[in-house]
Structure 1
Amino acid sequence: MLKALNWRYATKSFDPDKKLPESTIHGIKRAFNLTPTSYGLQPLKLVVTSDTHIQKQLYEASYKQKQVKTASHVFVLCIDKIIDKNFIEKHFKLVKQVRQTPDKILRPFRDFLIDDFSKKSNTQLRAWAINQAYLAIGNMLTVCAVEKIDACPMEGFDAKEYASILNLNHSNIEPVLIMPVGYRDQNDEFSKFEKVRRPLEEVVIEINS
């Protein structure tokens, strides 16, 4: 695992002639869906494209960062914009369906979440949902590293332009992160750089009795 994490880097240029097989893309989708999220609520959606015409438009909306244009596929992580009582109830209906859990057991926790989330502002709910997107992209990046798939996590893009290009303006989801994936361009100079990290003793605080 550590060898794989040391191998990965934020790929700045992909080989546009090499495409990832659909079985590999499906595996990354599964990693996204299996990501642990707060309360298991999954306030996330994943948009995937390998359409070169769309990628060229996304490239322009990503401040012309070429990894978006040269990638095999681009994953766009989105958050749900409406997180309300119906959203929470839908989750608990799924829990009941999958686990056959009786209502009397689910009800107290469901009601607690409905009450707790009703007290949060839209700004707080959005921030909470974005945190879940970061959990997902971290999980996806780790899976990519283990499977020797190159990837680049990105925040630098125009979310409104992305929503327009991907026809999301009339949906209830908002793009917050992107992750182009593929095979690295062998001429990408960043692939040759040593990984720079602070010493472990500077970033880990151990507290023992």
Structure 2
Amino acid sequence: MKLIGDLKWRYATKKFSNKKVANDDLKKIIEAINLSASSIGMQTYRLFVIDNQLLKKELGEGSFNSQIAESSHLLVFAAFDSINQEIINNYIEFVAKERKTPVKDLMGFKKTISDYLLSKTDEENFIWSAKQAYIGLGTALIAAATLKIDSTPMEGFDADKFDELLGLKEKKLKSVVILALGYRDEENDYLANQKKVRLPIEVFSTKVS
């Protein structure tokens, strides 16, 4: 299975070269993220793709993650800060349009979603949305690996700074995790030629019959 080999090849890149990711490959990664599994299918997060070098440098100032500024492209996963009836209504209308189904036929589905999500606090729904973003992150890591594009997922960033510079608050979003894309600098990345360390399958996985 080629995917296993690709996953053995990937690692959290520490130093990137100055080689840029091609637009066609970037589009494939973005499409893969968009096709990720998502609870209720609502995709309650958004993806921001940053190519601007000056902006990447500004976003990375003060962070111990030099990959923010060094990356070819930086992906920012931002979750909805709350969920209201309007968001649910818009989603139901979108599903009806895409599946060519009358909205009235989706009223049961809409009620189930509304009862579930609107009974929760904004913080609970934000956490739920952030978890959806992490599923997208996982898909991005796999997609990049299949294209032999290096990546580094990061939580060590100033979320408030990202939210401000990207205008996320006005969009009712909060940044939750970021992903640097590019190509490894094999001469300067101490991990580039190190063996990947993972638990043996028999230790990591338990079969329950």
TM-score, normalising length from structure 1?
0.94
The DSSP-based 3-state class of the residue aligned with 2:153 is coil
Aligned mates of 2:165, 2:123 — CA distance in 1: 25
Answer whether contact 2:65 2:157 (CA < 8 A) is retained: no
Aligned-residue offset at 1:64 = 3.3
1:163 aligned onto 2:163:
yes
State the distance in 1 between where 2:159 and 2:92 align.
Answer: 31
The answer for the alignment partner of 1:11 in structure 2 is 13
Partner of 1:23: 24
The separation in 2 between residues aligned to 1:165 and 1:12, in whole angstroms, is: 24
Distance 1:176 1:190 in 2: 26
Q: How far 1:31 sits from its partner (Å)? A: 1.2
Work out the CA distance in 2 between the residues paired with 1:80 and 1:174: 6
Question: How far has the Cα of 1:102 moved from its partner?
Answer: 2.8
How far apart, CA to CA, are the structure 2 residues paired with 1:131 and 1:108?
25
Contact 2:81 2:123 in 1 (8 A): no
Give me the whole-angstrom Cα distance separating, in 1, the residues matched to 2:33 and 2:146: 15
SS at match of 1:87: helix
Q: Is the 8 A contact 2:186 2:193 kept in 1?
A: no
C-alpha displacement of 1:165: 2.1
Deviations 1:64-120 (A, max 9, x none): 311111110000000111311111111111111011123343110111110111111
Note if contact 2:151-2:179 (Cα within 8 Å) is conserved in structure 1: yes
Residue in 1 that maps onto 2:49: 48
Residue 124 of structure 1: aligned partner = 124
Aligned residue number for residue 180 of structure 2: 180
Distance 2:105 2:200 in 1: 47
Query: What is the identity percentage for the equivalent residue pairs of Structure 1 and Structure 2?
Result: 33
CA distance in 1, matches of 2:15, 2:200: 28
Code of the residue aligned with 1:48 in structure 2: it is: V
5+ residue gaps, structure 1, are: none
The Cα shift of 1:171 comes to 2.2
1:40, CA displacement in angstroms?
A: 0.1
Name the amino acid aligned to 1:123: E
Q: Which amino acid counterpart does residue 91 of structure 1 have in structure 2? A: Y
Residue in 1 that maps onto 2:133: 133
User: How many pairs are equivalent?
Assistant: 206
Match of 2:205 in 1: 204
Whole-angstrom distance in 1 between the partners of 2:140 and 2:203: 27
